Amino acid sequence: MGDLEKEEKQKTGGQIIAEHLICNKIDKVFSVPGESFLGAMDAFYERRNEIQFINCRQEGGATFMAAAYAKITGKPGICFVTRGPGATNASIGVHVARQDSVPLILFVGQVTVSSTHREAFQEIDIPAMFKPLAKWSVQIDQVSRLPELLSRAFKVATSGRPGPVVISLPEDVQREMFKTPLPVVNTSFCSSPSLPQIAKLVNLISAAEKPLIALGSSTWSTQACGQLADFAERHNIPVVTSFRCQDKINNDHPNYVGVIGVGTPSYISKYVDDSDLLIMLGVELSEIVTESFRKYSFPKMQQKLVHVHPDEEELGRVYQPDLAIHSGMVEFIDLLVKQDFVRHSDNSMALKSMREDYISFTSPTTCPGDVHIGEIMSWLDKRLPRDTFISCGAGNYTHWLLRFIKHREYATQLAPLGAVMGYGVPAAIAASIEFPERISIAFAGDGCFLMNAQEIATAKKYNANPIFIVLNNGIYGSIRMHQEREFPTRSIGTDLNNPDFVSYAEAFGIKGYRVSQTSEFESVFENALKTEGPSLIELVVSEEAISPAFTLSELVEQSLKKKAN
C-alpha cells in the first residue's frame, strides 16, 4: 500500500476522467461543447497534448464519429455532450453503437446533484432515458466513485458483445476534489467455447454435404478474419457475410460468395434453402438477415444451425440452434483452426459456381440517365487502395455501393447495420482524422447528406481530407421505392428541394465538383484526391435509377399489374 499511497493525489473529477481515458490509450474525444461539463473540458485543456478534443457541429454527428472511431480502432469511442437537447441529439449514435456492436462511452453533463429531480434547466433522467438503448447507463453522484465506475464502464463497453455505455456527470462532481490512485488499465474479456463444443462442430461439418458459413459484426480481428478464410478454403465451405459486414473477409477470396440480407441474390438464397448446415458466426438473426423472419422455419430451422455469438441472449432468441456456442469470434476461431479433420462430401463444384455467380452479380448493370452509377462504383473498386475507408448512411444509393464496391481489409466498411441516415459524412471524417494517410470516402444520397452536412466544418477545422460523394436524384429514393411498391403512383413527401451542392461545399472553403456525365468522373475523382483537405463530388443521377435491379418506371408498372390482379 505504501507505493500506491505515494501516487495518490488530489484531483478534480474532470482530471480523474481525463487521466483514465489517457491511461486507456484514448487519443481523441468527440464533442459539442456544453456548459454542463466545463469541469471536464478544463481537464482536457490541461492534457491537450495527450488527448485531442474534437468539437463537432451537432451531437448526432459527434456520436457517429465516436462510433466510427471505435469500429476502426477497436478502442471505445468517447463522446461528451450536454444534458437535455445534447443528450437527445446524441441518442442516435448510442443506438448505432448498440446495433453495430461497437464500444462507445457517452458522457452527458448533468445538473448539480442538489438540483436533480427538480426539473432543473434542461434536466433529463439520463440513466432512465438511455436504459433501453445502452448496455449500461448510470449517474455518478460522488467524485469518490469515479475511479470505480469509470473502470466498470470500460469493462462493460468492451467485453462480451461490445456496445455503448452512458454516464451522467453532474457539474459539481466534475469540480470536486478527491485523492485518488493512478487509474487502472482496462482488460476486456469474452467467453470462449469448450472443447466438447468444438468437437461437436467438427463432427457436424465433417458430415455436412452443403455447409455455409455466415459472418456477422461482433468481436472480430484482422487475424481472426484471415484464419476463418483459410479454414473455409481448406474445407471447401462457401462464406457469406451478413448485411453491411463485407469487411470480415477479403471479397476477392475464392470462398466468398456474397451477402445475405437486403436483396439476397437468388443463387445464395437457393443454396441456403438446400443447405444442411448453417454456421452463423457473430450474426444477429434479425429481420434483415432472415428476410423479415420468413426465410427460416422457427423455432427450429429445417437446416442444422450452429450459432456462435458473444451475447448469450442472442443465442436461441428466435431460432433454436442445434449447437449454441457463447463465445467471442477471436476465441472461437483460435480453437477451430487447430482442428484437423476431413469432410466426407466435396461441394467444390457448387462453391465454384457460386463464386462465378458472385462475380457476375457484382458486374455493373444497366443504369438510366447520363451518370451510370454502377460503372462509377466498378471503376472505384479497381482504383482504390485496399485500405480505403468506405462509409455510407441509408438510402437506395447504398444498394449500388454495397453491390459493386468490394472490401479487402478488415474494418474498412463504415456502414451502420441499422441503416441510419446521416452516418456516412461524420464516419468518414473520423476515419480521416485518425488515419490521415489513408483515403476515406463518404457516399451519401442528397437526403442522407444533408442530415449531417454541417460536419464538413469539422473536417475543414481539423485538416481532414475525406471525399464526400453525393448522389443527387432529388428524392428520398428508398421511401419513394417503398411507396411505389405498396401504393403505386401515389407518392407524397419524398421530393426534395436541394441546394447547389458545389456552392454549398465552397461555402465551407472546400473544393466542389459536379459530374453530369459518367465520362467526367475519373478526372474529377483524381483531382479530388490531389486536393488538400476535404472535397465534394456531386453525381447528378436520374430518379429512374432507383435500384441496380430495376428502374422506377419498371417498379411502378410491376406494382400496378400486381394491384390489378
Residues 72-89 have pLDDT tens digits of 999 999 999 999 999 999
Q: Which of 188, 469, 428, 231 is nearest to 339 (CA)?
A: 231
Position 190 scores a pLDDT of: 93
| CB neighbour list of residue 44: distance below 8 Å, 6 or more residues apart | 14, 18, 29, 51, 53
| 80/150 Cα distance (integer angstroms) | 14
Q: List beta partners, residue 110.
A: 170
The CATH-assigned architecture of domain 195-360 is 3-Layer(aba) Sandwich (3.40)
CA distance 110 to 126: 8
- 344: pLDDT strictly greater than 80: yes
pLDDT per position as a tens digit, 460-519: 999 999 999 999 999 999 999 999 999 999 999 999 999 999 999 999 999 999 999 999
Task: Please tell me the predicted confidence (pLDDT) of residue 214.
Answer: 98
What is the Cα–Cα distance from 4 to 15, expressed in whole angstroms?
Answer: 18
* Residue with cell string 471524417: 429
Percent of the chain scoring above 90 in pLDDT: 91
CB-based contact 442:428 (threshold 8 Å):
yes
H or E element, residue 297: none
Mean pLDDT for the stretch of residues 263-291: 95
Identify the pLDDT of residue 7.
59
The domain ranges of the chain are: 7-180, 195-360, 362-564
User: 362-564 is classed in which CATH architecture?
Assistant: 3-Layer(aba) Sandwich (3.40)
- For 210-226, the pLDDT digits (tens) are 999 999 998 999 999 99
Give the residue-averaged pLDDT of 352-365.
96
Residue 2: pLDDT over 50: no
The tens digit of pLDDT for each residue in 48-60 reads 999 999 999 999 9
Predicted confidence (pLDDT) per residue in 104-126, tens digit: 999 999 988 877 888 877 779 99
pLDDT over 70 for what percent of the chain? 99
SS3 (DSSP) at 31? strand
Q: Do domains 7-180 and 195-360 have the same CATH topology?
A: yes
Neighbours of 416 (CB within 10 A): 28
pLDDT value at position 347? 87
Answer yes or no: is pLDDT of 1 > 70: no
Q: Is 14 within 8 Å of 40 (Cβ atoms)?
A: yes
Q: What is the CA radius of gyration of the chain?
A: 25
Q: Smallest Cα–Cα separation from 531: which of 503, 509, 501, 516?
A: 509
What does the pLDDT read at residue 283? Answer: 97
pLDDT higher than threshold 60 for residue 143: yes
Whole-angstrom distance, CA of residue 283 vs CA of residue 332: 14
CATH code, 7-180: 3.40.50.970
Over residues 331-351, mean pLDDT: 92
Beta 256-260 vs 239-242: how paired, if at all?
Answer: parallel
The whole-model pTM stands at: 0.95
The torsion angles phi and psi of 184, rounded to 5 degrees, stand at: -100, 135
Residue 186 phi/psi, 5-degree rounding, is: -70, 140
Pick the more confident residue, 306 or 565.
306
Please compute the mean of the pLDDT values over residues 302-314 and round it to a whole number: 97
- What average pLDDT does the segment 25-54 reach? 97
> What residues have CB less than 8 Å from 158, skipping those under 6 apart?
76, 103, 186, 188
CA triplet 408, 426, 456: central angle to 5 degrees?
120
Mean pLDDT within 351-379: 96
For residue 147, what are the CA distances in angstroms to 163, 178, 395?
20, 10, 43
d(CA 486, CA 556): 9
Quick one: pLDDT band at residue 3, thresholds 50, 70, 90? very low
CA 164, CA 154: separation in Å to the nearest integer?
Answer: 10
